[in-house]
Every structure is written in C-alpha cells, then in structure tokens.
Structure 1
C-alpha cells in the first residue's frame, strides 16, 4: 500500500494501538522542577501591579503560572466610613472574579512586549471560560477562580449568584487562584532560559 505524506522527510511510525510489543520511552529531558512564589514588586496600594520573573539558567513552564488573590467586600455607611456587610445586604461579585478583576494585562519578555489585552482582559477571559469549558469544569475546579455554573437563564437568582454571595457574607475574605489568560501562557512550549518576564496588571475600578 502506498502512503502519501505531507512531508516526504517525515519518518514512518505506527499508532500506539497497534504497537503491542514496544516498550514506551521514558522522558529523561527534565531532571528536576521547582515551584516559586513571586510577590508583586510594588505595594498593593499602588497600581498597576508588577511581577517579574528574573532571568536564570532554568526553563520556565508558563502554563503553570497562577495568580493568587484575596478579596473582601465592604460598604460605606452614612458617615462615609467603611463597614462590614450585613446579612440583609444582597451583594455578590461578578463571575470569575479571580480573573475578571483585571482590566488590562501586559506581558514583556526581555523588554519586548508580547501581549497587551488593551483593557479588554475581563471580557476576553470571561468569554473564553464561558464558551470553552464544560459544565463539569464550571461546577468543579473553576470554582477556585470564582466561577460558578449558572443553572438559569437570568443573571440574578441563580445558583451561581447565591454561591458567590455566600463567599462574601458579613465581609468575609475569600481566596481565589486562577491561571493567567494570555497567549504566551496558553501554549505548551517552555520559555528558554536567560529570559526575563515582566507582567503588569491593572485592576478594574
């Protein structure tokens, strides 16, 4: 039987489903891995927030970059002072607050800008999660980023609104962790060594 290859230089191979006797190879390309916590280089009271991954001899797996956040909702009383919410206050954040609190994100590698969301980051990440993930994902691990599945056609009164409201009852502090949603963080290749990565995050007002 004659096969027509797209690239004549491509070597022949067979599917694993028919390879009964070949022992699968062992990945020996990675000798060790580490996880680092990177804090913002400026105070949280000053925006934008800057994160810097300094150049080193290590390769970087950008698909494993997560942003850890803490939020609390308070209100102003008649005197203009911030006070805690009461049980009667019907307040909840928007969906996916661990990501949609971001207004704009810029990513630079060695001083060259490679990503700029142009103040549309919240819309980009919301629609990508809304349209790309299954109901099972929305009802499980996406909860960690503040996304809860909406079981109704309305924005208010659904299970998602109730769950998000419960997180902040009586001005409790809620924690979220979410992946950074930019093209360079959504591809499988490692970033080569001796590259410095600058991440600038501007929150929504």
Structure 2
C-alpha cells in the first residue's frame, strides 16, 4: 500500500552503478559520549542507567546509538585467566550481558519490561542471519561460534 502523494523509488543499497544521492536535510551532525548516571555498580544485578536529554532543536538518531564496554573475563573466583586457558565467551556476548533493557522517552517506557532480553536477541540473530553470515562475518569478530556440548 502506498500513500497517494508518495513517489516510487528503489533501494539505495541496490544502486551499485549509480552515484548515491547526497542527503542535504541535515545541517550538521556530531557524536556525543554519555556515561552512566550512577558511577559505581554495587552488584552484578545493579542497573546501568543513561540519561540522554534533548538539546533544543537537535535530533537524536536512536538508530545511531551504540554502547561501548570494556569487559574482563576471570575465573569464577575472580582471579585472572591463564594465557593458555581454553575459554571463550558465549555467543552474542554483548546481548548476553543484560537480562533486561528498558527504553524510556520523555518518561514513558516504550519497550516491554521482561527479563528475556538475551534469549530474544539470540533468537533474532540466529533466525535473521543466513548460515554463511554467521559462519564468516560474525565468527571473524568472535561474535558467533558453533555451539557444541
């Protein structure tokens, strides 16, 4: 179904032999780093909360929002892993670190509040990517390994 005032167009990513159009709708853009509101995590279940406030007439593009983390893998007792220790993180590691992710806009929660986030993210990755993609691109950046008992 198409709006009566809409025009027909193709997908830009399929236009391999054409010069891509230039987006002139944005005057300027910038990356802004935000840090968690609470500076210390009191436990492994403490929430990590970010507050991103509007900047007047500026637009926040949530599709260009990223989380950067520094993680350290240790033994169960907290000691460092040996260099030759045969260990690897679980598939989809960054999604597996969180049990629940809630997103609020203007004080209104817009995501469902369930604790099944890592399972949903794993299944979406498993079912959304072709087998070759999982075994090449995702495996190359250690995001995906074949699960074996």
Report TM bin, short chain: 0.7 to 0.9
In the alignment, the residues of structure 2 paired with residue 90 and residue 13 of structure 1 have an alpha-carbon distance, to the nearest angstrom, of 54
Task: Report what 2:50 is aligned to.
Answer: 51
* C-alpha spacing 1:87/1:64, structure 2 compared with 1 (3 Å): same
Confirm or deny that 1:130 pairs with 2:126: yes
8 Å Cα contact 2:139-2:145 kept in structure 1 = no
The CA RMSD over aligned residues, in Å, is: 3.1
For 1:144-192, what per-residue CA distance to the aligned partner results, in whole angstroms no more than 9, with x for missing partners?
5x52242xxx524xxxxxxxxxxxxxxxxxxxxxxxxxxxxxxxxxxxx
Which structure carries more strand by proportion?
A: 1
TM-score, normalised by the number of residues in structure 1: 0.55
Matched residue SS, 1:49: coil
* 3-state DSSP of counterpart to 2:67: strand
- How many residue pairs align between the two structures? 137
Segments of structure 2 that go 5 or more residues without pairing to the other structure are 12-19
5+ residue gaps in structure 1? 1-5, 17-23, 157-205
1:84 aligns with 2:80: yes
2:100–2:114 CA contact under 8 A, matched in 1: yes
State the TM-score, normalizing by the size of structure 2.
0.73
**Greater RCO, CA 8 A, separation 6+:** 1
Kindly report which structure 2 residues correspond to 1:13-162, keeping only aligned pairs within 5 A, or say none: 26-46=22-42, 47-56=46-55, 57-75=57-75, 82-87=78-83, 89-138=85-134, 139-140=136-137, 144=141, 146-150=142-146, 154-156=147-149
Taking the aligned partners of 1:49 and 1:14, their CA distance within structure 2 comes to: 42
Deviation at 1:10, TM superposition (A): 3.8
